[in-house]
């Protein structure tokens, strides 16, 4: 194998640039020509790619987003789209591909692999909803961004004796809400992985205020609902003025944390080593402090689960 390519697909995540950089630098280190594909599978279908050198990825490690840009590409789900993507790779003599994205992107990778392309997946999503890895690239930064914003909301909340409901991202996963809620010291965390019981939340707020608390923070995962649906109910049943904020897309941007840069750098380099060793249809994982690779089929078949220990501890220490 002489030529490999890298692309970012699905929702962007801070640290994707660091992962691209590692793939490019490690690829060149091992003697590959490395191509960057623009806009994920869309660029593969439309033949939008170019050769990268060591310096193409200079000054990128600290940047959020992805300089290769990303896209949601429905055509990739069709046989016609898949054939076009494969043809582009054949046309350029590219035999190996690193796909940085979430589980949707892995499904595309799996199909390319079945079509004879050597593909390795790297988990890149702020949602941390890829079961085979304890951390996906971007999650740590998103949690830090959310905690930073919640700290600011705490200032205004405490100044006005209010409850604030803060809605965070995560799609169907409660990981960002759970981790940000614990780290920000929230009174309540509402996640899809836990039965919603607003009575408990309101009672806790009421009890807290009766004992001298003068503000409260409720972290809401978008997978449970939107903050507008909860503010009135919480205000009515807790008796405390309640405001809401949706943190929105700021959680997807920003300079990646050191942890995400490390994760991205290691996974990027190790993905290239997989290709060098002739592996295909595998994805990079981080489990129990170790980095490993796993069959994409196996990774996709693993049932999703939240961090049960964090969930248990959140209940224990929020009062």
Does residue 96 interact with ligand ADP by CB under 6 A? no
Q: Does 41 bind ligand ADP (CB under 6 A)?
A: yes
* Binding-site string for ligand ADP from residue 65 to residue 94, where x marks contact by CB under 6 A and - marks none: -------xx--xx-----------------
Rg (CA), the chain: 22
Using alpha carbons, list the distances in angstroms from residue 21 to 27, 36, 108, 160. 10, 10, 22, 46
Can you say whether residue 310 is alpha, beta or left, with left for phi > 0 and alpha for psi between -120 and 50 degrees? Answer: alpha
Tokens of 198: 């607003």
Q: Does the annotation flag 214 for ligand binding? A: yes
Among 95, 103, 140, 167, binds ligand ADP (CB under 6 A): 103
- Residue 103 assigned ligand-binding role: yes
User: Is 11 labelled a binding residue?
Assistant: yes
Residue 102 binding ligand ADP, by CB under 6 A: yes
Say if CB 267 and CB 98 are below 8 A apart.
no
CA distance 293 to 272: 12
Please give the sequence-ordered ranges of beta strands (E in DSSP) within the chain, or none if there are none: 3-8, 33-37, 49-52, 96-101, 118-123, 163-168, 188-190, 216-221, 242-246, 282-287, 290-295
Least distance in angstroms from the C-beta of 221 to ligand ADP? 17
**Cβ of residue 6: shortest distance to ligand ADP, in angstroms?**
15
In the residue annotation, 127 being an active-site residue is answered as yes
**Binder of ligand ADP out of 11, 123, 208, 244 (CB under 6 A):** 11
Strand-pairing partners, residue 6, are: 36, 98
Give least dist CB 104 to ligand ADP, A.
2
Interacting span for ligand ADP (CB under 6 A) from 9-17, 191-199, 204-212, 275-283 = 9-17
Cα–Cα–Cα angle for 294, 50, 275, nearest 5°?
25
Helix axes 227-238, 198-210, angle to 10 degrees: 50
Near ligand ADP by CB under 6 A: residue from 10, 123, 223, 244: 10
d(CA 40, CA 36): 10
Q: How far is the CB of 295 from ligand ADP (least distance, A)?
A: 17
CB of 24 to ligand ADP, least distance (A): 21
Name the binding residues.
Answer: 11, 21-25, 72-73, 102-105, 125-127, 154, 162, 169-171, 185-187, 213-215, 222, 243, 249-252
Annotated binding-site residue numbers for substrate: 125-127, 162, 169-171, 222, 243, 249-252
Binding site for ligand ADP (CB under 6 A): 9-11, 41, 72-73, 76-77, 101-105, 107-108, 111, 125
Residues involved in catalysis: 127
């Amino acid at each position: 194998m002489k030529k490999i390519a890298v692309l970012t697909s699905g929702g962007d995540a801070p640290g994707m640039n660091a992962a691209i950089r590692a793939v490019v630098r490690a690829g060149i280190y091992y003697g590959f020509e490395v191509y960057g594909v623009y806009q994920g599978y869309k660029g593969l279908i439309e033949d939008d790619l170019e050769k990268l050198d060591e310096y193409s990825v200079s000054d990128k490690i600290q940047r959020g987003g992805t300089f290769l840009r990303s896209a949601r590409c429905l055509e990739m789900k069709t046989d016609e789209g898949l054939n076009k993507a494969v043809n582009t790779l054949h046309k350029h003599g590219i035999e190996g591909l690193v796909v940085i994205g979430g589980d949707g992107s892995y499904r595309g990778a799996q199909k390319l692999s079945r079509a004879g392309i050597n593909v390795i997946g790297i988990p890149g999503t702020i949602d941390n909803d890829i079961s085979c890895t304890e951390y996906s690239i971007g999650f740590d930064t998103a949690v830090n961004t959310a905690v930073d914003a919640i700290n600011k909301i705490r200032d205004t909340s405490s100044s006005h004796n209010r409850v604030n409901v803060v809605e965070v991202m995560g799609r169907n996963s409660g990981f960002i809400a759970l981790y940000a809620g614990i780290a920000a010291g929230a009174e309540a965390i509402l996640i899809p992985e836990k039965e919603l019981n607003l009575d408990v939340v309101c009672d806790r707020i009421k009890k807290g205020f009766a004992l001298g608390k003068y503000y409260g923070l409720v972290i809401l995962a978008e997978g449970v609902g939107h903050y507008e649906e909860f503010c009135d109910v919480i205000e009515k049943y807790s008796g405390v003025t309640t405001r809401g904020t949706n943190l929105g897309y700021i959680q997807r941007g920003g300079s990646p944390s050191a942890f995400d840069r490390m994760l991205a750098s290691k996974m990027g380099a190790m993905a290239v080593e997989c290709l060098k060793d002739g592996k295909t249809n595998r994805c990079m994982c981080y489990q129990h402090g170790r980095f490993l690779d796993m069959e994409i089929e196996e990774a996709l078949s693993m049932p999703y689960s939240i961090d049960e220990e964090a969930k248990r501890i959140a209940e224990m220490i929020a009062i």
